[in-house]
């Protein structure tokens, strides 16, 4: 089985846990709450009336939150289960959206249009092995003057081991293979055996250079001394919605965001 097929299989399994988790809180979302955080809501700008493509949309809560704000949304994800749930949510909540099951690297097989905004977030690029190819796809699917916006976990976080010591290389080395026996939500235990994840870590310069070298002009770049999710071990909430490692508090970067315009 290829790397992406392993990830497809594990994300199918994780999705069924995530939709039942307090972490994703699908119940509140169905009642009308947004799943988007203040960072992306403030930084992305006006989405009303814009054609928005969400890369790696998981089961569609963020995509549909943008639909509630008036965007004309399309979501793609490699997981069959995620796309199935996303399409069901769209129908149940009468929120117009298109969802396609596709690897990011193969979206030209399912899409042939251009977008005003391309969005991706929180735990997405670590599933991609080639950011140059990723940025070429972003360029290909954006209209001239269109906006690419991402908010992601800071690559520094991925250097830490479970004891929070620097253990991994910050700069790109090899792919990281993990046996999947839990996920990051509170109902985390996975019973299915032999699931494997394959991930790739990318330094900030790799992310920014891939965009710059592929026709995107960086307009905003931020780093944040907190995490919006309690998704790693040993985190404490210092303010509502601001999580940090107790050991390092706000001394280290936890997330970053980039907004770029296609020239
Ligand atoms: C952590 S989730 C994205 C986070 C998102 N903000 C959320 O939680 O709703 C990562 C998503 O990337 C998808 N994914 C992983 N590799 C992919 C690939 N090569 N192409 C498309 N989607 C991929 C997974 O199926 C999963 O839904």
State how far the Cα of 231 lies from the Cα of 197, in Å rounded to an integer. Answer: 17
pLDDT band at 6 (very low <50, low <70, confident <90, very high): very high
Each residue's pLDDT tens digit, 161-182: 989 999 999 997 789 999 998 8
Counting the structural domains of the chain, the total is 1
State how far the Cα of 177 lies from the Cα of 166, in Å rounded to an integer. Answer: 18
* Beta strand 242-245 pairing with 235-239: antiparallel
Task: Give the Å distance between the CA of 137 and the centre of ligand 1.
Answer: 16
pLDDT band at 103 (very low <50, low <70, confident <90, very high): very high
Tell me which of 63-67, 74-78, 177-181, 251-255 is least confident. Answer: 177-181
Give yes or no for residue 65 CB within 6 A of ligand 1: no
Residue whose pair of structure tokens reads 């269109």 in the numeric block: 146
Nearest to 62, CA basis, from 9, 117, 110: 117
* Residue % of the chain over a pLDDT of 70: 100
Task: Give the Å distance between the CA of 125 and the centre of ligand 1.
Answer: 8
For atom 9 of ligand 1, the residue with the nearest CA is 58
Residues with Cβ < 8 Å from 110, sequence gap 6 or more? 76, 100, 101, 102
For residue 188, the model assigns a pLDDT of: 78
pTM score, two decimals? 0.97
Range of the domain at 211: 3-262
Nearest to 99, CA basis, from 45, 34, 50, 52: 52
Is there a contact between 149 and 258 (Cβ–Cβ < 8 Å)?
yes
- Residue 105 belongs to domain with CATH number: 3.40.50.150
Task: Give the Å distance between the CA of 84 and the centre of ligand 1.
Answer: 14
Is there a contact between 23 and 184 (Cβ–Cβ < 8 Å)?
yes
Each residue's pLDDT tens digit, 127-151: 999 999 999 999 999 999 999 999 9
pLDDT band at 203 (very low <50, low <70, confident <90, very high): very high
For residue 181, the model assigns a pLDDT of: 84
């Amino acid at each position: 089985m290829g790397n992406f097929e392993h990830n497809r299989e594990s994300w199918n399994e994780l999705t069924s846990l995530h939709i039942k988790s307090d972490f994703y809180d699908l119940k509140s979302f169905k009642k009308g709450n947004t799943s988007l955080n203040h960072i992306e809501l403030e930084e992305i700008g006006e989405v009303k009336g814009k054609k928005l493509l969400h890369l790696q949309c998981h089961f569609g809560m963020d995509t549909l939150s943008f639909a509630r704000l008036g965007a004309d949304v399309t979501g793609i994800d490699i997981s069959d289960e995620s796309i199935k749930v996303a399409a069901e949510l769209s129908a149940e909540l009468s929120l117009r959206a298109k969802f396609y099951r596709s690897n990011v690297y193969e979206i030209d097989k399912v899409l042939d249009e251009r977008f005003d905004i391309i969005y991706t977030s929180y735990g997405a690029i670590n599933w991609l092995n080639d950011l140059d190819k990723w940025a070429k796809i972003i360029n290909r699917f954006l209209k001239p003057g269109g906006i690419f916006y991402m908010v992601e976990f800071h690559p520094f976080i991925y250097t830490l081991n479970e004891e929070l010591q620097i253990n991994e290389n910050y700069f790109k080395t090899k792919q990281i293979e993990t046996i999947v026996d839990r996920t990051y939500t509170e109902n985390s235990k996975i019973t299915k055996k032999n699931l494997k994840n394959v991930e790739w870590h990318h330094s900030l310069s790799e992310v920014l250079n891939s965009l710059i070298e592929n026709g995107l002009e960086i307009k905003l770049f931020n780093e944040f001394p907190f995490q919006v999710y309690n998704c790693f071990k040993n985190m404490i909430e210092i303010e509502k919605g601001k999580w940090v490692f107790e050991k390092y508090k706000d001394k280290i970067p936890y997330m970053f965001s980039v907004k770029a315009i296609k020239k």
